[in-house]
Structure 1
């Protein structure tokens, strides 16, 4: 098959959604498919659009950046072609068999293409951050084959889709994310969490929880993983780690006893599942995406969204209850072992072949 993923923008920042797309691209390429990733300049909203230079020069620099930085934080197979295009128009799509829209911005233009290729809409979240609910929901009714990653998304999408959506749950690379150091051998009072400044990631609640804990535990050590600049309000107990590879993230996860997640809302939440695979005891808010794999009292401790005090209390519970910490860790490893990227990629390819 000749497969094209159409992404909404080009960015050097780590994104769980993009990571899944890149994993699927590598898998499809390694299974004798021709895979391309297109970045349309027309949807780019970065600094180039703010520079006072002619549009053709902006586009030239954009194309150059896509070529030079395509493997900045994720290693794509050599066979996966990455290309900048000016806009999502038929002239850029020649002999493709499958075209996959990957975001709300790309859905309409991909659906409007006149070529005969099969069209898919890979939906990894309810993307109403910059668009109205009406606009987002209308993209589900464009007639493409909708692929979703969670049960809660499926319920929403199927209200508007012309045909039932197909669920392909996100997976993780269990060859990278695994236990290399038993939780009992890790330092006391150690936490890892991943910082994002976007409002729906809820970083302010993680910071408040950490600040309350560091007043009680002088040896508190918090590994803060991010692709962004260090925030000014970072608690003093945090060790800021920027631009880590997946291997590096796995190593850091294996240093911490607890993974903290304060997300308000998200489609799935890969970092929590990756942390489970590394043996961390997960303390998270009960946002919709987490419920796809996190079960309170079995493999995690879940708190109400926006409640930093409950997050801090759950962390303290594990600080003082090593038996519960061990139970959550062991069950988390079991949960993660059943959600490998290999299985998800196989299912994704099967959908492309049969739908």
Structure 2
């Protein structure tokens, strides 16, 4: 079959329904939206076998509940209405998908097996967004790179890892952001000075324990410090100087990014770090640990202030440096906005279509 980039039947396979913002899902949804606009037929297959797994409910209720949630979600992202959402709990889900030209596995858990064993497609890809050894051991994870799909990676460091084990060289397509949505609307000097935003995430590798230590020390030195957090988890018992938004929309996160001087990231390890680059695009000064993923877009002392993972004192000092130096604020903010313009969806889609049509 000849691939012309249009009128193809394309499917992304996701490991269940995300009730709140998830970076990996967001990237898939962005690709899906743009492929639909290029006149392709796009489906998203949700692997819902674990839906309500902790509850003793009849299968038909489980199936109906999953179907309702698929219709409802994502509430946090504007997914094109032309995209077909399919559940693997439906007996005829393969028939609903139709004959696939292109199929994407999107995670090590569940989706690689589904695409490999249960779905037929002329071309199969594996979109790898992190070294996903959270719930599977390293051997099983590495074996997913060897299945034989065309691997796509979102970071240079990840490409080095995957290419060690895969049969063919992977394709590097760095994550992109919507540079029309994520923009600097409020100049850095017009924002309240002692303000910080960060992502709240309960996974240990996100480094929130360290971030809270940084915030507590800063609050002691700046009594007027105001912190804004957003995330998908229920609101924790925060002190009153921390404002929390659960399941914030894209528009709300843009508002948050534009309201603060600093975006703080204490991540231990992560594939890329979308919130960091989004905040930079909105003019916030990024203070981050120097984990592998952030190195894809952050350059220390140019568009961000980076420090060793786990170094609490260094992050405190970097925030203070920004708070107390308007010139550094302006330089980091302006360089961040300029640099992030390199990460456009136009470029990402060109690379993806080239890979599909190869």
TM-score bin (small chain): over 0.9
Aligned partner of 1:285 among 267, 270, 289: 289
Q: Name the structure 2 match of 1:347.
A: 351
Deviations 1:278-324 (A, max 9, x none): 11110001111101011111110011112222211110111112211
Distance 1:5 1:167 in 2: 18
Equivalent pairs, count: 349
The reply on whether 1:240 has 2:244 as its aligned counterpart is yes
Deviations 1:91-131 (A, max 9, x none): 66531100100000211221224634211100001000011
Q: Name the structure 1 match of 2:141.
A: 136
The reply on whether 1:34 has 2:38 as its aligned counterpart is no
Q: TM-score, normalised by structure 1?
A: 0.94
The reply on whether 1:12 has 2:11 as its aligned counterpart is no
Contact 1:214 1:237 survives alignment (8 Å): no
Contact 1:125 1:267 survives alignment (8 Å): yes
The reply on whether 1:210 has 2:202 as its aligned counterpart is no
Aligned partner of 1:305 among 297, 302, 309: 309
Question: Secondary structure, in 3 states, of the residue corresponding to 2:164?
Answer: helix
Counterparts of 1:90-105 in structure 2, within 5 Å, are 93-105=97-109
Contact 1:178 1:278 survives alignment (8 Å): yes
Aligned partner of 2:228 among 220, 223, 226: 223
Distance 2:14 2:232 in 1: 19
Q: Name the structure 2 match of 1:179.
A: 184
Q: Name the structure 1 match of 2:4.
A: none
Q: Name the structure 2 match of 1:160.
A: 165
Tell me by how many angstroms 1:60 deviates: 2.1
Q: Return 5+ residue gaps in structure 1 as ranges.
A: none
Tell me by how many angstroms 1:57 deviates: 2.1
Tell me by how many angstroms 1:340 deviates: 1.6
Deviations 1:112-152 (A, max 9, x none): 24634211100001000011011101000000000000001
Contact 1:207 1:235 survives alignment (8 Å): no
Q: Return 5+ residue gaps in structure 2 as ranges.
A: 1-7
Question: Structure 1 residues 341, 114: CA separation in 2 closer, same or farther (over 3 Å shift)?
Answer: closer
Distance 1:262 1:101 in 2: 29
Distance 1:135 1:274 in 2: 32
Alignment RMSD: 1.6
Distance 1:259 1:114 in 2: 42
